[in-house]
Amino acid sequence: MSYETILFEVESHIARLTLNRPDKLNSFNTQMHREVRHALSGEAIRSARALVLTGAGRGFCAGQDLSDRAVAPGSAAVDLGESLENRYNPLVLTLHNLPMPVIAAVNGVAAGAGANIALACDIVVAARSASFVQAFCKLGLMPDSGGTWILPRLVGSARAMGLALLGNKLPADQAAAWGMIWQCVEDAELAGTVDALARQFAVAPTRGLAATKDAMRRSWQRSFAEQLDVERDMQRELGLTSDFAEGVTAFAEKRTPRFSGR
């Protein structure tokens, strides 16, 4: 498939997906959803052991392109629920559930659904000039794309409620201080910091990292005793993997392990 709204490549086990509508601050339209879905479900990404998601130009993603006919006010049969059901919800679930670390490199404003798409990733690194805005209240809407679930878990109920009801811009350094993102770095350091993380993940024990993601994501649904059982069962499976055997052997031989992701 030839892409017009995104850039996508996989090299050295690192997949890089760049939202590429810089003149629209990388806001989503129907075509971008279709292309992102194709990239994240195609053959190429199956060889990846890490994914980097970022935006072209001066913004990460401004959310929904309100000029897109699918959602523009006044267009026939506007159904925002349909847009969420068939576009945004599958996207954030895919990012949430990919069996590899997913890094969001937030290079500018992340607003509306764009903010929550970033927060659905496993590791969020933002440039100091970046910001996060729950802009929905400015349009008479509520946070979507997982915002009402993700925000309280990251920053607590009081801060999540303030962000959602006021729609204030949250600078990247404040987001890091609140624990909403992993790291805020100087603008010039963003690409290098994210590349170093991606390279680290590309040679890491991928199945173990995927199991860690899954266990942590689902822990909110379980009691402590139930989570202990999950840890037992997952650890039993991981103990039979090639990566565990390699990790133990490398430790005994005092060398760097050569993980295969299997």
Half-sphere exposure of 129 (CA within 13 A, CB side): 10
Residue 30 in this model has a pLDDT that exceeds 90: yes
Residue 74 in this model has a pLDDT that exceeds 60: no
Percent of the chain, pLDDT > 90?
Answer: 92
Residue 77 in this model has a pLDDT that exceeds 80: no
Q: Where are the domains of the chain?
A: 6-202, 206-253
Residue 262 in this model has a pLDDT that exceeds 90: no
Which of 3.40.1000, 2.60.120, 1.20.120, 1.10.12 is the CATH number of 206-253? 1.10.12
Residue 259 in this model has a pLDDT that exceeds 70: yes
Least confident of 3-7, 18-22, 67-71, 238-242: 67-71
Mean of all residue pLDDT scores within the chain: 95
Fill in the DSSP letter of residue 101: -
**Rounded average pLDDT over 81-85:** 93
In the prediction, which pLDDT does 37 show? Answer: 97
* Rounded Cα distance, 163 and 159, in Å: 6
249 Cβ partners below 8 Å, 6+ apart? 257
Residue 114 in this model has a pLDDT that exceeds 90: yes
Q: pLDDT band for position 160 (50/70/90)?
A: very high
In the prediction, which pLDDT does 79 show? Answer: 85
- Whose tokens are 């998601």? That residue is 53
* Rounded Cα distance, 199 and 77, in Å: 46
User: pTM here?
Assistant: 0.93
* Rounded Cα distance, 236 and 255, in Å: 25
Percent of the chain, pLDDT > 70?
Answer: 96
Tally of residues, the chain: 262
Residue 72 in this model has a pLDDT that exceeds 70: no
Topology at the third CATH level for domain 6-202:
2-enoyl-CoA Hydratase; Chain A, domain 1 (3.90.226)
**Rounded average pLDDT over 11-28:** 97
Residue 1 in this model has a pLDDT that exceeds 50: yes
Q: What is the pLDDT of residues 170-204, one digit of tens each?
A: 999 999 999 999 999 999 999 999 999 999 999 99
Q: Are strands 169-171 and 131-133 parallel, antiparallel or unpaired?
A: antiparallel
19 Cβ partners below 8 Å, 6+ apart? 5, 6, 26, 28, 32, 36, 53, 54, 55, 56, 60, 61
* Rounded Cα distance, 198 and 102, in Å: 9
In the prediction, which pLDDT does 78 show? Answer: 65
* Rounded Cα distance, 122 and 120, in Å: 7
**Rounded average pLDDT over 48-58:** 97
Q: How far is CA 10 from CA 6, 201, 202, in A?
A: 14, 14, 11
Q: How far is CA 77 from CA 70, 72, 143, 244, in A?
A: 9, 10, 22, 54
Q: pLDDT band for position 76 (50/70/90)?
A: very low
Residue 91 phi, psi dihedral angles, 5° rounding = -65, -50
